[in-house]
Each structure stands twice: as C-alpha cells, then as structure tokens.
Amino acid sequence: MKVLVPVKRVLDYNVKPRVKADGTGVDLANVKMSMNPFDEIAVEEAIRLKEKGVATEIVVVSIGEQKAQETLRTALAMGADRAILVTAEDRVEPLGVAKILKAIADEEQPQLVILGKQAIDDDNNQTGQMLAGLLGWGQGTFASKVEVSGDSVTVTREVDGGLETDKFKLPAIVTTDLRLNEPRYASLPNIMKAKSKPLATKTAADYGVDVAPRVKTLKVVEPGKRQAGVKVADVDELVMKLKAMGIAK
Ligand code: AMP
C-alpha cells in the first residue's frame, strides 16, 4: 500500500521567533528552518509501516518555496521513496494545502495519508481534518499508536480521560501526536543516497487549485514580557503576601 506524507518547512523549534517590525508576521530572514516536528513523526511512522511490510511506497509532499526541497530531501534521507514539491511564492493557507493534497491523493491513490497534527509555525491544526472532509475519508487525529491490518487502520488517540481506540476503513487520514514514535536521524550514506531519489516539481495551477488567501492577518505581536519576580525570606512571608494579593485566605 502507498502512504502519502505531507511535510512542512517551518522555523526550527529551537529558534525564538522574532516578529517583523511592521507587525505583519514572523521574521524568517536568515533563521534556521527545519521539518515540522510532527511531520518527522509522520515520516517515521510511514517508514516503520514499510519496515513491517505493510507499506510498499512512501511519497512525501511539501507545498512552499523552492527551499522546501531541503525538507523533502531530509524525508527521503530518513527513508521515503519519492517526493513532490508544489512551489508557492507566498504562504498557502490550510484550505489551499488541503485542496492540493486532495488533488495529489486523487492522482496517487494512497491508502493512508499521515500528516502532523499541527504545523508549529501557524498552529492551525486544520489541514488533516480538511483533507479528510474533502476526500470523504475517515480520520484518526492525534494518534499515539497506529496499526494497519487488512483493509482497516486502528488508531489510539490521547483524549482527556485517557486513551481512545478507533478503527477506520482504508483509505484513511491519520494525524500524529508527539508520543507516536521517536523519529530517526538520517545517516550520512542515506543523505547521499537521497540526492538521487526522484523529486517532481509542480505548481498549484498544475492541480487546478486556487491558493489565493481567504484570511487577512491583521496584526502579529510578541507575547507580553514577564514581570520580574519578588524574593521572599520564608513561607510565612510568602503566605502573607499571597493573602495581601487576595490569592490565599
Ligand atoms: P496545520 O493544519 O497547518 O497545523 O498543519 C497540519 C499538517 O498539515 C502539518 O503537520 C503537515 O503534515 C501538513 N501541512 C500543512 N501545511 C503544509 C505545507 N505547506 N506543505 C506540506 N504539508 C503541510
């Protein structure tokens, strides 16, 4: 079975975001970019399915600027077989991404699409759900365990009260949570090998998708600065201060 894994190039999770002076967004000039961490987990899960003999081919897709090619090469070095880069000048909103992924799914006919639960740059948590809606497929979001057997997939999800286990008919959509697995690092020989794996370059127009933005971001601001703390001599003083602030009785 074929597995499709969409991977997004985002600001590296170790980098502290800086807001542009004009407040229109986060400054991405000269900062380290990496694969969205939840997408690394998605690639890892697809590779594990291939290692178990369940998946036969892993196709990774990225929608973004030309440099998203690096993200795709990382996924290929981890163990994906083939990549599709859909170039876009500007940021594509989740609806546009989902429409492009739907067109690719129609063409590629994967049995499973594994996405990250959210991209850590925009924190949308929308694309997987929208794609499931557009395709009319079942979806297991926030997966902490994925098991494929026959023509169905069983997904364990972390919910407030504990763990929920759901079963879906294939083809289906899965979105990854943090505890699903620990992604592998690409080895140097595999990084070299990935350079010769196939990577097709397309545009949204090739799939007949209009990616014009539907949302206008009005303002982006940095979080408020934390106030300096106060040192207290002992617990009695702490309780006294909390009482004075009306926090303790
Ligand atoms: P979001 O809905 O933006 O939080 O993203 C959820 C997931 O959708 C990500 O973890 C990726 O798997 C996928 N995704 C979102 N945007 C893109 C993109 N531009 N290219 C490839 N995959 C994407």
The answer to whether 55 touches 1, Cβ cutoff 8 Å, is yes
CATH architecture designation of domain 2-245: 3-Layer(aba) Sandwich (3.40)
**How would you label 184-222 residue by residue, b for 16+ Cβ within 10 Å and e otherwise?**
eebeeeeeeebeebebeebebeebebebeeeeeeeeeee
**In whole angstroms, what is the distance from residue 227 CA to residue 238 CA?**
17
pTM here?
0.92
Predicted confidence at residue 56, as pLDDT, reads 98
Which 3 state secondary structure label does DSSP give 242? helix
| R_g of the chain computed on alpha carbons | 21
Q: How far is the CA of 135 from the centre of ligand 1 (A)?
A: 16
What is the pLDDT tens value at each position of the chain, 249 positions in all? Answer: 999 999 999 999 999 999 999 988 999 989 999 999 999 999 999 999 999 999 999 999 999 999 999 999 999 999 999 999 999 988 899 999 999 999 999 999 999 999 999 999 999 999 999 999 999 999 999 999 999 999 999 999 988 889 999 999 999 999 999 999 999 999 999 999 999 999 999 999 999 999 999 999 999 998 888 888 889 999 999 999 999 988 877
Ligand 1 centre and the CA of 187: distance in Å?
A: 25
Q: Per the structure block, which two tokens stand in for 30?
A: 């000269």
Cα of 237 from ligand 1 centre, angstroms:
50
Q: Find the residues whose C-beta lies inside 6 A of ligand 1.
A: 6-8, 36, 38-39, 42, 61-64, 92, 94, 97, 115-116, 118-119, 122, 124-128
pLDDT reported for residue 44: 98
Q: How many whole angstroms from 230 Cα to the centroid of ligand 1?
A: 42
Ligand 1 atom closest to the CA of 124, numbered from 1: 4
Angle ∠(145,148,152) on CA atoms, nearest 5 = 115
Query: Residue 135: its pLDDT value, please?
Result: 98
Is the separation of the CB atoms in 64 and 107 below 8 Å? no
- Going from the Cα of 52 to the center of ligand 1, the distance in angstroms, rounded, reads 26
Give the pLDDT score at 237: 94
Cα 184 to Cα 171: distance, rounded to the nearest angstrom:
26
pLDDT value of residue 128: 98
Closest ligand 1 atom to 119 CA: 4
The full set of domain ranges for the chain reads 2-245
- Residue 248 has what pLDDT? 76
> What is the position in ligand 1's atom list of the atom closest to the CA of 118?
4
What pLDDT is recorded for position 46?
Answer: 98
